[in-house]
Amino acid sequence: MAGTLSYITSIVFNYFATKRFVFDKPTHKHTFFYYLLSYGILYVSSLALLWLLVDICKLTPYMAGFVALPINAIVSFVLLRTIVFR
């Protein structure tokens, strides 16, 4: 229960922090929905990338996370910039 509540709280906090401090854009009616959608896309693509790096490329899980981190950051920024905070 506490894990779920903290996860939801972090998503809401990250939405408002990203909106205010990264993009500084006014929101539209469906902005939060698009944020959740991009968060889901990023989650699935992150899992797929980790699977590719660990199972196909045979990297250790730690090295796969290290390689995936900058890629996920770029994908996250592009998704938020093009879908959520246009």
Overall pTM surpassing 0.85 (yes/no): no
φ, ψ at 60 (rounded to 5°): -70, 155
pLDDT digits (tens, 9 = 90+) for 12-52: 898 888 888 888 877 777 888 999 999 889 989 999 999 99
**How does residue 1 score in pLDDT terms, banded at 50, 70 and 90?**
low
Asked if pLDDT for residue 72 goes beyond 90, the answer is yes
- Residue boundaries of the structural domains of the chain: 2-84
Per-residue DSSP letters for 1-19?
A: -HHHHHHHHHHHHHHHHII
Residue with tokens 């998503």: 11
